Structure 1
Amino acid sequence: MGKGKNTAGIIAGLLAGAAVGVVLGMLYAPEEGKETRKKLKAKANDLKDQALDEYDKVSEKVKSEYGNLSDKAKENLDKVVSSVKDSYEKYKHTAANKASGVVKEVETELDALK
């Protein structure tokens, strides 16, 4: 997820740099103010559209990564639950057998005391 933030930051920086370059270029261009404002507005709209497109791409990538991580976490949780259940079943019988043995020993000792 840190990688997505890094990519988004780089994209934002590039877009901001491009915007500054375009604005400076237009301000120093030998055109009328009205024409320059039209160009600035058009370029701002283009940059906005590019930023929205990049946002959508990064957003989809993050959603995909989240889905992959979520699936892996679920798989791992299922494995842990299965392992715990198996261990429980295994040791449940072992503990029951040992408890049964202890009960028999106690009964034997009690019978001997009679």
Structure 2
Amino acid sequence: MGNNNSNVLIGILAGTAIGATLGILFAPDKGSNTRQRISDEALAARDKIADSAIAARDSIANKASHLRDNIVDTVGYKAQTLEEKVESIVSDASHTAEDVIKTLEDKLAMLKEKNKKLKKS
């Protein structure tokens, strides 16, 4: 959409320059004055087009910078979220492993008690 606006602006400026040139050519005046006016109008049109090109370049650079910043922020957020999920999974796995070990230790203690009772009998 920004490229379209730049093209329209350049078209308007070019049309204005062409119109001014035609107006000068058909206006009654001395040849030297006409040539000077055409030269002046051409220089003014060139300056306007250059200014428009600079403004378009700056606008595109600004939009690209915002887009890059948004991408960096999004990737950073996604990486942080992924890291948090991995930490949560590792923490849950650690707790689960501790629970399994505790259960096995309790069962082992019960078996040892039963074995002691069996040996006494």
Do both proteins adopt the same fold according to a TM-score greater than 0.5, normalized to the shorter chain?
A: yes
- State which of 22, 28, 37 in structure 2 corresponds to 1:24: 22
Q: Output the amino acid matched with 1:19.
A: A
Residue 67 (structure 2) aligns with: 69
Answer 1 or 2: higher relative contact order, Cα 8 Å, separation at least 6: 1
- TM-fit CA distance, 1:99: 6.2
- TM-fit CA distance, 1:10: 1.0
Residue 53 (structure 1) aligns with: 51
Q: Any unmatched runs of 5+ in structure 2?
A: 108-121
- The 8 Å contact of residues 10 and 52 in structure 2, kept in 1 or not, is answered as no
Aligned Cα RMSD in Å? 2.3
Q: Which runs of 4+ in 1 moved over 6 A?
A: none
1:42 aligns with 2:63: no
Counterparts of 1:84 and 1:44, CA distance in 2: 59
Flag the structure with larger Rg.
2
Q: How many residues align?
A: 104
* Matched residue SS, 1:30: coil
Q: Output the amino acid matched with 2:70.
A: K
- TM-score normalized with structure 2 length: 0.73
- Give a deviation string over 1:88-107, Cα, whole Å, max 9, x none: 111123345556749x88xx
Q: Any unmatched runs of 5+ in structure 1?
A: 109-114
